[in-house]
């Protein structure tokens, strides 16, 4: 009797296994097609416009050019002391040495942008305006603003047009300080866009009616840079160029 019951159980188990295998084979042969062929339309009512506007107007993305992750509390304290803002800010860590900065006041945000470059523990922070809530790629953040002085440039050549020409050798002109010094000073001061992927320039060559003249460039608030490749953001010991 017991032997017969065991035989029945074995037969039932065998049939269950066979049925399971048949179902798996049938599923593997099925080609599933997407039911939703038409894309969903995104309408204005689907988007939080106020949130996007707040991020765009009051947000910045920062990239810290450091080898190790910073202490968030220490970094916020250090930047708060350096920036001296009216209403403060918040930092959110995004990973890959990227950070979202949200300011409470437009003037505070503009102050940080205008007084760029900034650094934390000798490591440069590259800022970029927030245009979306999506996380950017680290390599997308490579532009900074720097004040430079073109030494020895004659007073009659310190014009907006000349500033634009000189800035074209960088990544463009941000601001021309036409009120810097007097006509008897020997420099022109301008703020240029610069990519940290390019080496620093030491001089500007001008062709003035066939006469080639070289004018040295001096940088204000120059961050850490490499004495080997001439690029901003790392010391010579960490140079990979």
pTM above 0.75, yes or no: no
* Measured distance CA(93)–CA(72) in Å, rounded: 8
Structural domain for 136, as ranges: 47-140
* Measured distance CA(184)–CA(26) in Å, rounded: 90
| Per-residue pLDDT tens over the stretch 89-99 | 999 898 999 99
The count of residues in the chain is 241
| Per-residue pLDDT tens over the stretch 199-223 | 999 999 999 888 999 999 999 988 8
User: End of a domain among 140, 173, 202?
Assistant: 140
CATH number at residue 59: 3.30.70.330
- Whether the Cβ atoms of residue 206 and residue 219 lie closer than 8 Å to each other: no
User: End of a domain among 110, 140, 170?
Assistant: 140
Asked if residue 147 and residue 65 are part of one domain, the reply reads no
User: End of a domain among 95, 120, 140?
Assistant: 140
| Per-residue pLDDT tens over the stretch 140-155 | 999 999 999 999 998 8
């Amino acid at each position: 009797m017991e032997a017969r019951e065991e035989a029945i159980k074995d037969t039932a188990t065998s049939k269950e296994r066979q049925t399971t295998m048949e179902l798996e084979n049938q599923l593997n042969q099925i080609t599933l097609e997407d039911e939703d062929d038409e894309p969903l339309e995104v309408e204005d009512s689907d988007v939080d416009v106020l949130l996007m506007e707040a991020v765009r107007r009051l947000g910045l993305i920062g990239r810290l050019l450091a080898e190790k992750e910073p202490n968030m509390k220490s970094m916020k304290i250090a930047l708060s002391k350096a920036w001296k803002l009216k209403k403060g800010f918040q930092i959110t860590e995004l990973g890959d040495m990227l950070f979202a900065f949200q300011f409470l006041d437009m003037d505070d945000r503009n102050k940080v942008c205008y007084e760029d470059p900034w650094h934390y523990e000798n490591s440069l922070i590259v800022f970029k305006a927030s245009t979306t809530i999506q996380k950017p790629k680290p390599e997308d953040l490579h532009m900074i603003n720097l004040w430079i002085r073109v030494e020895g440039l004659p007073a009659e050549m310190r014009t907006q047009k000349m500033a634009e020409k000189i800035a074209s050798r960088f990544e463009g002109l941000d601001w021309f300080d036409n009120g810097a010094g007097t006509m008897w000073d020997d420099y022109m001061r301008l703020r240029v866009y610069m990519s940290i992927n390019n080496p620093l320039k030491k001089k500007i060559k001008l062709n003035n009616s066939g006469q080639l003249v070289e004018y040295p460039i001096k940088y204000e608030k120059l961050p850490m840079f490499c004495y080997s490749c001439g690029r901003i953001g790392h010391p010579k010991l960490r140079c990979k160029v």
